[in-house]
Structure 1
Amino acid sequence: MLVDILEVRSDWRRSRAHLAHHIITEFSDWVASHHPQGKALPCDWELQARAIRLLSSSQGSTMDPFIHMYQLETADRQHLISAVKGLQKKDRYQEAAHLAKKMHLQPYLNFRELCTPLLLQDKLNVVEGYVSNSPELQQELVRLLDSWCHPDFNLGNLLQQYPGLQQVKHERMHPKSLSKFVTRLLDTYKIDSELCPNVKQYRALGAMKFLFYQKYGEKAMDDENWNDHISVAVGNNPWLQEQLVMMLCSYRDVTAAARWARRLKMPHDRLPSAVLWILSNQRQEDGSEEEESAMAYSSREDCYQLPVPLDQVIFIDNLADLEMHLPAMLQPGCTLGVDMEWRPSFGVLSQPRVALVQVARRDRVLLLDLPRLSEEEEEESGRQPGQRRLARATNVEPRAHDETAQLQASCSGRCEAKNSVAEEGRLLGLMRRLFSSGDVLKLGYDVGGDIQYLLTSYPMLKPALQQSSRVLDIAVLQKQVERLLSAQPVAGGSGAEVARGATATRTTEERGLSLLVLQTLGKALDKRQQLSEWERRPLTTAQLLYAASDAYCLLEVYDGLLQKAKAAKLSVNLEKCMVGKKVQKPRHSDPAPDDERLWKKIGTEVPATLPAANLTRPPESCSREPMSVRNFAVVCDSMLQGLGRYLRCLGVDVHILENIEEHRKAAEIARAERRVILTCGLPYQTLRSQVGEDCCYFVDCKEKAKDQAKAVLRHFNVQVTPSDIFSRCKVCNGNRYMKISGADMARVAVTRRELLRATAGQDDPEPGYGVVLGDDLADEAQGCVEPGGVRWSPTVAPTQDFAGKSWRGVVALPGPEKTMSRASESWSSRTPRYYPACFVDNQELDANTASFADGTALLAEAIPPGVLETVQLFYCCVTCGKVFWEGSHFSRILSQFADVLSTESDTSTFYES
Structure 2
Amino acid sequence: MDLSPSTHFVSSTNSPEFTLLTRVLTRSSVIGLDAEWKPVRTQQSSFPTVSLLQIACQVDGDEDAHVSKNSQPVFLVDLSAIPLPSIYELLRDAFVSPNILKLGFRFKQDLVYLSSTFCSQGCEPGFDRVEPFLDITSIYSYLQHKHQGRRLQSKSLAAICQEVLGISLSKELQCSDWSQRPLTEEQKLYAAVDSLCLIQIFDVLKARVANIVGSTVCNVGKLQSHSIDLGLKQILDMPNGSDNILLAKFIEATKMVQAIITDFPQGITIHEEVASTVQFAKNKQMDDAVLWIARKYGDKILLSDSDRKPKMSKKKGKKPPTGLMAKPRQLDGDEDWQGPPPWDVSLGGDGCPKFLCDVMVEGLAKHLRCVGIDAAVPPLRKPQTRDLIEQASKEKRVLVTRDAKLLRHGYLIKNQIYRVKSLLKNEQLIEVIETFKLEISEDQLMSRCTKCNGRFIQKPLTTEEAVEAGKGFQVIPNCLFDKNLEFWQCMDCKQLYWEGTQYRNAVQKFIDICKLNE
TM-score scaled by structure 1?
0.25
Larger Rg: 1
> Of Structure 1 and Structure 2, which has the larger fraction of its residues in helix?
1
> Of Structure 1 and Structure 2, which has the larger fraction of its residues in strand?
2
More contact order relative to length (CA 8 Å, sep ≥ 6): 2
